Structure 1
Amino acid sequence: MGVRKRGKNLFIDFRCYLPDGARVRCRESEGPDNEKNRKRVQKKWKAIQYHTDHGTFDYLKFFPHGAKAGHFAKPTEDMTFSEFWEKWMSGRAVRKGTEYNANRLYKNHLRDYFGAWSISRITEQEVLIWRKIMLDKGMKESTINTYIRILCSCLKSATKQGLIKEFPCEDIQKLKEQQPDIEPFTFEELNHLLDHLEKKDPEWHDIVLFWSRTGLRPGEFYALRWDRVDMFNKQILVKESRDMYGESGPVKTESSDRAINLRPAVYAAIKRQQARTALMDKWVFMAPPNRETKKSHQWTPGEFRAAFKHRLRLAGIKVRPPKQLRHTFATLHIGAGESIPWVSKTMGHSEIETTLKRYTRFIPNLTSDDGSAFEKALKNG
């Protein structure tokens, strides 16, 4: 019994008594395993121990939406969706950005339709009717799927607690989504941009070269720290990601947690960057000094996006968001003949099929598997 780790998450493992007197074992998820959360969970565990020892343990006080909450509270048909949403959100151990996004979705479209409904009356048919209304309004399939995911997650919790008899989303399939826009830089554009930056802005030359040769997701790029750069083995370790609200945390999937080998040109770029920022802060890539504080700071997505687009304009290249550097990595390496498994692994895709689906039109043949084919093509481009 106590605080345990399973995968990347923490759990509290304990025994307690149900209202009918039966003694049961409980395993409650407490979110990601990091230093801050571990301290919080340890304090919670000590409080649970105290109350169980003194016979004053209240399961619902500690775990209002726990796996066994339904055993402690009688279902109430009078609870509205809005009331349950507030309680559900207050008990979720998620990042600040995740909580913000969920509440934004709720306020935008879920509250107006489902808010006053009794939680017990929400059925599969009602969820499908709401989805049809959103489609008729012109909402994108991918956006509707995002709404459905958070709605069904909430309803699943209500079902576990006995507030809904049957889970409404059991048989609801997600809508087929349109492929996201992929507008990578061509070999010619990338060469021109790098040549321009090498002369005018050497640090940005190294930034663009690094990102276009590693294929990092934007959040992974912003969250890269010097303690994740292994200069001896010429690797970077991708273990954290940063969201648009400035919070850093573990990468979301097992395949995203990866090591990326640095080819000679990329290693040279990171060596030059080391001289610029390694002694300033823990972040590899830093924004210019603030006018007021005169200090450099970690890039925010908005700051970086504006600075990147400005440099594209100066170089005379069509403006695109910096995330296209990740697509550029995929399309140019695949176009140069690198093996799909290598590209997929480097990008942190969980399945090769994901890479094939997104970049299939850029695949001429499959030959190399270490990045050398791309560098050869770049030199000849």
Structure 2
Amino acid sequence: MGAISIRNNKLVLGFRFNNVRCREQTQLSSTPINRKRMEKLLKVIEAEILTKNFDYSKYFPESNMVGKFAELNQRKQTASQYFNSPDAPTVKEFADIWFAEKEVEWRKSHKESIEGILESHILPAFGKMKISVIKKQDILTFRAALAKVQTRTKKTLSASRINHIMTPLRMLLNEAADRYEFTTPWKNIKALKIPRTEVNPFSLGEVERLIKTAPDDFKAYYTVRFFTGLRTGEIDGLHWDKVDLDKKQLYIDQSLVKGEMTDAKTDGSNRTIQLTDRVVSALKVQMQATKHLGSFVFCKKDGKPFNYQTISRVIWEPMLKRLKLKYRNPYQSRHTFATLLLASGESPEWIAQQMGHTTTTMLFRVYSRYVPNLTRQDGSAFDRYIETQGEDNA
């Protein structure tokens, strides 16, 4: 909506053109007659802007904005001519350029993840299209199709996985739009809402049963896993030089991801974990079994690290079936550790440090509902506090 203002007793026209705020001062004094003239002119200008017939130089030939809009228009024409030509890059062509430029920034695991998403999802859907002609509707249709894809277990892709697949597409389109000066179609497309983290910890009794039923050469593995809260990559990548049994500590600063040792997940993941006597005992047993094989604490007979997918399929899933426990992925061992620590009354700050969280916020948001003492809302804990304090002061 345009407006008329006054500066130095002269009328000033204000309006928006091509998403740019424009202000043009006239030489007309602020009188009722002149204001009416300008109001009519402003309506004409706005109508021409709306119908895309507005020529800035026609109304304001001396304005500095004329040159600016002429330059912008030339850039748009150049870009339009390029992308409407037979030589316009396809998504596949630009993806090759973009990937080659970006891969130097990525870890091997992330590089392989992006490469897999491009080959399995993005390029089959968009590879032959000119990158400039992709529309918002194409993106939304692609996302809707992903929601119908089934995994090998006959489940549909999770919202988190779909968002993960959409991220490289967004990066490709936005980079191409910036580089070749066309308007990105990725506008007002929000990521799918991800459900709250699924936390389904085991009870202490279930943990004991799982460790008891584990094969002998995996009892130490699951003892350490359940009672340290290590992530899969952290325990599978644990080296003996990170274990100090005299001090009862583990030093975590690296992780095994897709067979490659990498730095820890985040800065907060670099941490020192205090070990219970039970874990120390398990590691002493493990030391006799694998230390002579190489650097990995938990490994195959040839000293090479475990493949977590194989261990999950061959060891973990059969254990759950034998005990008739509902299937839960191995990561629930970490959630179990957190809930057991909270239930035992350990300091939340100390627990967060053991878990590799920089604050206690996530700890309470994710785990507190599994700990009766932290979620009780009947006031009984406060009643006991009042009673005991009253008795002490009597």
TM-score range, shorter chain: 0.5 to 0.7
Change (3 A) 1:264 1:132: same
Change (3 A) 1:223 1:120: same
Residue-by-residue CA offset, 1:183-222 (whole Å, 9 max, x unaligned): 322111112233455xx72x42222111111111111111
Residue-by-residue CA offset, 1:74-122 (whole Å, 9 max, x unaligned): 9753111111112222331234432332232223332233323322344
RMSD in angstroms over aligned alpha carbons?
A: 3.0
Does 1 or 2 have the higher relative contact order (CA < 8 Å, sep 6+)?
Answer: 1
Aligned to 2:365: 357
Question: Aligned match of 1:303 in 310, 332, 338?
Answer: 310
Residue-by-residue CA offset, 1:124-152 (whole Å, 9 max, x unaligned): 66544543454477653212211122222
Name the CA distance, whole Å, in 2 between partners of 1:277 and 1:134: 44
Name the CA distance, whole Å, in 2 between partners of 1:362 and 1:100: 36
Change (3 A) 1:219 1:364: same
CA contact (8 A) 2:202 2:332 kept: yes
For the pair 1:100 / 2:112, whether they are aligned, the reply is yes
Name the CA distance, whole Å, in 2 between partners of 1:335 and 1:283: 32
Name the CA distance, whole Å, in 1 between partners of 2:309 and 2:361: 31
Change (3 A) 1:233 1:152: farther
Q: Where does the alignment leave 5 or more consecutive residues of structure 1 unmatched? A: 1-73, 290-294, 368-381
User: How many angstroms does 1:314 deviate by?
Assistant: 4.8
Aligned to 1:86: 96
CA contact (8 A) 2:236 2:256 kept: yes
CA contact (8 A) 1:339 1:366 kept: no
2:255 aligns to what SS in structure 1? Answer: strand
Question: Aligned match of 1:260 in 252, 265, 273?
Answer: 273
| Percentage identity across paired residues of the two chains | 30
Question: Aligned match of 1:192 in 195, 204, 209?
Answer: 209
Aligned to 1:371: none
CA contact (8 A) 1:193 1:317 kept: no
Q: How many residues end up aligned between the 2 structures?
A: 283
Change (3 A) 1:171 1:237: farther
Residue-by-residue CA offset, 1:205-245 (whole Å, 9 max, x unaligned): 222111111111111111111112233432211111122x3
Query: Which amino acid is 1:355 matched to?
Result: L
What TM-score does the superposition give when structure 2 sets the normalisation length? 0.63
Query: Which amino acid is 1:153 matched to?
Result: M
Aligned to 2:73: none
Question: Aligned match of 1:215 in 213, 229, 234?
Answer: 229
Aligned to 1:182: 199
Aligned to 1:25: none
For the pair 1:335 / 2:343, whether they are aligned, the reply is yes
1:183 aligns to what SS in structure 2? Answer: coil
Higher fraction of helix: 2
User: How many angstroms does 1:249 deviate by?
Assistant: 1.0
CA contact (8 A) 1:312 1:318 kept: yes
1:177 aligns to what SS in structure 2? Answer: coil
1:279 aligns to what SS in structure 2? Answer: helix
Residue-by-residue CA offset, 1:288-328 (whole Å, 9 max, x unaligned): x3xxxxx3432111232112333444556555432221121
Change (3 A) 1:157 1:328: same
Q: Where does the alignment leave 5 or more consecutive residues of structure 2 unmatched? A: 1-77, 150-155, 376-394
Residue pairs, 1:1-381, within 5 angstroms? 77=83, 78-91=88-101, 92-93=103-104, 94-122=106-134, 126-135=138-147, 139-159=157-177, 162-165=179-182, 169=186, 172-196=189-213, 201=216, 203-243=217-257, 245-287=258-300, 289=301, 295-305=302-312, 306-314=314-322, 317-365=325-373
Query: Which amino acid is 2:304 matched to?
Result: H
CA contact (8 A) 1:338 1:366 kept: no
